[in-house]
Amino acid sequence: MDNLVKIRDVSSRYDISARTLRYYEDKGLISSIRSDDHAYRLYDNASINKLEQILILRKLNISVKDIKLIFDSSGSDVVLNVLEKKIEDIDGEVALLHELKDIVLEFVSHIKQLDFSKESDVKLLYDKTKEIETSLINVDYAGNPASINRLLEVTEKLDKKVPDVMIIKIPNFRALTSGLVSWDEIFGAFEEWSNARSHFFKSVIFDCADFLTGKDGKAEWFVGVNDEVMDADVEPYKIVEFHGGLYAVTVSVDGDGESHNKVRAKVDKWLETTNFIEDESRAKMGHMIYPHDDIMKGLGYHQMNLYLPIKLKEDCE
């Protein structure tokens, strides 16, 4: 047992959450060991080495699905194919960015020739813009990087890398709560207990009857319950009133911390363009949609919906 590392030590050493480690286990990328003497997960040197490989590949923006393909292969052909495809993706994005830069520079050049203190120049720019707008449908891109049509095509392709953000309002609802417990208990005792009592539960909104939050290395799971369920029915757990509110909802396809961090960074930029700010009095939440659910088999991948609590800026003034 001397060569085994505890899950909290792995989490601390590599600055990743216990939930992310469990996710990698669920995907078959690493494995843990348990013994009668230890209730927590333990990792051997082989799993630690694989984890280091995973973290390097994730930094290269290689998907968890492709990492699984790499690990399952016996030779280097798969990893070379994955990396070559990633290079092609990067080259495509770089080409788009260069083209966008050329377009912006050309617009800058035109604007520098105008005097915004002169009403005639401002009117000229306005008329030119309207002229482009009205003739846009008839303009074909023929290799001219200054074409307004191509500008829209380039920015549309780049914008696809930014997640769509949906604002929803979750109503208050009665919820069974696991309380703030370890991740192992969440996906162990509590999950087994709740699966055996699924008749208690009801969908709250968008088929998302449960929300998972985390704090200080621990987790809490909220599940909507029917009105007739009593406190005695859910012992040793509790029923609480879940206070809803406004949330900005985004999607992270790979359910690990690296994906969440990238999506969160983009949501922060999105917030800068709105009248909303994060509501730090409420917890960030997640809800996992699994492809093995009958209704979601068309996905083919795990989808984590991320819920960021928000409020209007004016509510803080």
Helix intervals (H) in 160-287: 183-185, 191-195, 257-271
User: 5-72 and 166-316: same fold?
Assistant: no
Computed over every residue of the chain, the mean pLDDT equals 77
Measured on CA atoms in the order 220, 223, 227, 230, is the torsion positive or negative?
Answer: negative
Question: To which residue do tokens 């003034």 refer?
Answer: 317
Amino acid identity for residue 252 in this structure:
S
Could you count the other beta carbons within 10 Å of the beta carbon of residue 25?
Answer: 16
pLDDT of residue 279: 92
- Cα-based angle 236, 231, 199 (whole degrees, multiple of 5): 85
User: Distance (Å, rounded) from C-alpha 20 to C-alpha 286?
Assistant: 13
Q: What is the pLDDT of residues 226-261, one digit of tens each?
A: 888 888 888 899 999 998 899 998 877 666 667 777
Express as a percent the part of the chain with pLDDT over 90.
Answer: 10
Strands 38-43 and 245-252, by their bridges, are unpaired
Domain boundaries, the chain: 5-72, 78-159, 166-316
| CATH architecture of residue range(s) 5-72 | Orthogonal Bundle (1.10)
153-187 confidence digits (pLDDT tens): 665 665 555 457 888 898 888 888 999 998 888 88
Region 166-316: CATH code: 3.20.80.10
Rounded distance, CA 148 to CA 30, Å?
Answer: 49
